[in-house]
Structure formats: structure tokens, C-alpha cells
Amino acid sequence: MNPTIKLALILIASLEISFTYNLPANLLVILISVTYLFYHRIHGKTLAWLVIVPIIPAFGLFTTIYFFSSQHDLATASALFTRMYAYVFAGASFSLTTKPLDLAHSLEQNCHLPSKFAYGTLAAFNMLPKIKQTIVTIKSAAAMRGVNLSWWSPHLYFKAILVAINWSENLAMAMISHGFVEDQPRSAYELVQVKARDITWMVGLLIVLQVPIVWQIMN
């Protein structure tokens, strides 16, 4: 599926369930997302992780509404509980099945996003393998001077920004030396198309999602 269309579908669906308290709609989003994830052969482990991680905030929300609010509203509590999972699965069905580069190409070609945004962001993402080690190094270098930096120390953020400034200059210079010129047209090695099938799926799935929502309004 075209990455931009897929993203649009997921954002619209997520927004729509945010405005309603509709258990069947949430379950439908979860069902479609899980099916899609299985179609993309997601690992059992990843799926288990998706189920486990949101459980604390989801359960916390449930108890707040059901046990502690004055109305003890089970319907709302369970709608909120499942909605958390709907967000997680819908979100994952995009981020686990789409490569950042494919999204960048699609946004560049289909949405005419200026290339500096697409490739600037990608260049930054390219540093990801070094990010964790960098934070460890900053902390250790300071520890060796007797200074303990942690997430509540402004100096940790300051040092991280200094690293970011340095990297951003090196990466930008490298981009320019690889022929990149801001706001100038580029050719496309591969054309990313929006196929009729993509639109059909998007519209089709959105119509299906309206069924439980309209049903709730009618009753």
C-alpha cells in the first residue's frame, strides 16, 4: 500500500475513534490492524510486546473511570481501555510495515514535501545506531569528572545538543557534497504511485469503520 495513503488512513481512523467512546469501533480497528500485521508476518514476540507494554496505562485509565469516578461507567472504561490498544495496533501496523525511506519517497513525490525535510530527517535517523552509545559516553565522560548526569540534569541535555549541533553540521556538509541542493528539483529513481487499489482500500476500510459509529448514534 502507498505509504502516504496508509498513514492517512491510520491517522483518520485514530482521530475518529478519539472523538467517540465506541467499543465495537475500537475492536474493529484492532482486528483490522492485527490482520494486517499477520499478513506482513509480524513476529509473535513483537505482537506480545505490543500487548504487554500499554497494559499499565490502559489499566490505570480503566480503574480511574470504573472504580474512582462517580459514575462507575463500565462502558466508557472499557471503551477507553480498548482505545489504547486500537491506537497501539493501528500505529504499529504503519510503523512496523513501512520503511522510513519509502515514506520519505512517497511524501516527496505524492505530497510534494520539500526534499530538505524528507532527507534531513532521514540523515538524522541514520545516526540512530550511535545514539544510545553517545548518551552513555556523555554520562561516563562526566562521571569520570565526578559529575553524575541523569535525565533531570540540564547539563545532560546541553551536552546532547552540542553533539547534535556537531553531527548536524557534518551530515549537512556530507549531503551537500553528495550533490544535494535545497529547493532544487531531483529526479526519481523509482516512481511511487498512488494506485486506485490504495484509494479503494482506504475508502472501503473507512466506510466499514463508520458502521459501528453510525449504529451508536442511531441508538
Among residue numbers 37 through 96, which ones bind other proteins (CB under 8 A)?
49-50, 53-54, 56-57, 59-61, 63-65, 67-71, 73, 76, 79-80, 83, 87-88, 90-96
For every residue of 138-193, DSSP letters joined together read: HHHHHHTTT----TT-HHHHHHHHHHHHHHHHHHHHHHHHTT--TT-----SS---
Q: Determine how many CB atoms are found less than 10 A away from the CB of residue 169.
A: 10
- Candidates 40, 43, 72, 130: give the one binding other proteins (CB under 8 A): 130
Task: Give the separation between CA 94 and CA 16, rounded to whole angstroms.
Answer: 17
Reference 126, options 148, 152, 104; nearest CA is: 104
Residues 90-129 that bind other proteins (CB under 8 A): 90-96, 100-101, 116-117, 119-129
* Nearer residue to other proteins within complex by CB, 67 or 196: 67
Based on CB atoms, which residue is closest to other proteins, 144 or 196? 144
User: E-strand spans in 12-127?
Assistant: none
Amino acid identity, position 131: I
Of 190, 5, 180, residue with least CA distance to 105: 190
Q: Which of 41, 112, 145, 219 binds other proteins (CB under 8 A)?
A: 145
DSSP 85: H
Least Å distance between CB 139 and other proteins?
8
Q: How far is the CB of 96 from other proteins (least distance, A)?
A: 7
Is 31 a binder of other proteins (CB under 8 A)?
no
Nearest Cα to Cα of residue 120 among 133, 131, 104: 104
Interaction with other proteins in 190-219: which residues (CB under 8 A)? 190
- Which of residues 56 and 207 has its CB atom nearest to other proteins in the complex? 56
- Which amino acid is residue 43, in one-letter code? H
- All three cell numbers of 24, joined, read 465495537
57/204 with CB nearer other proteins: 57
70 or 219: whose CB is closer to other proteins? 70
Q: Which of residues 154-173 bind other proteins (CB under 8 A)?
A: 154-165, 167-173
Among 41, 112, 151, 207, binds other proteins (CB under 8 A): 151
d(CA 191, CA 108): 10
Q: Closer to other proteins by CB, 6 or 212: give it.
A: 6
DSSP label at 70?
Answer: T
